[in-house]
Amino acid sequence: MGNLGFQEILLIAVVVLVLFGGRKIPEFMKGLGRGIREFNDAKNNVKKELEEGMNEKDKQPAASASTTAQN
C-alpha cells in the first residue's frame, strides 16, 4: 500500500498540474519550502532547549553535593 510506482507518481503530477496550473505550482512549492524550513527551525530550537535543560540538570547535583560537603 505504501509503495508508489512511476505510473502513480506521474498520475499525481498530472492531477496537480491540472488542478493548480503551471503558474501556481512555483508559488505552492515556495510556500511548502518555507513551511518545511520553519518546522525544522522549530524542531532544532526544541532539541537545543532540551539539551540545555539536561546539561543544567546534570550540573545541579554536583553543586548541591559540594555545598553539603562543606557543612
* 56 vs 71: CA distance, rounded Å: 23
Domain range annotation of the chain: 7-41
> Is residue 65 pLDDT above 80, yes or no?
no
7 pLDDT above the threshold of 70: yes
Q: Which three cell numbers stand for residue 60?
A: 545541579
Distance CA 50, CA 52 (A): 5
Is residue 63 over pLDDT 80?
Answer: no
Cell of 56: 543544567
Most confident of 2-6, 35-39, 49-53, 57-61: 35-39
Distance CA 31, CA 57 (A): 39
pLDDT at 44: 96
> What is the spatial distance between Cα 51 and Cα 45, in angstroms, rounded to a whole number?
10
Each residue of 23-49: pLDDT tens digit? 888 888 899 999 999 999 999 999 999
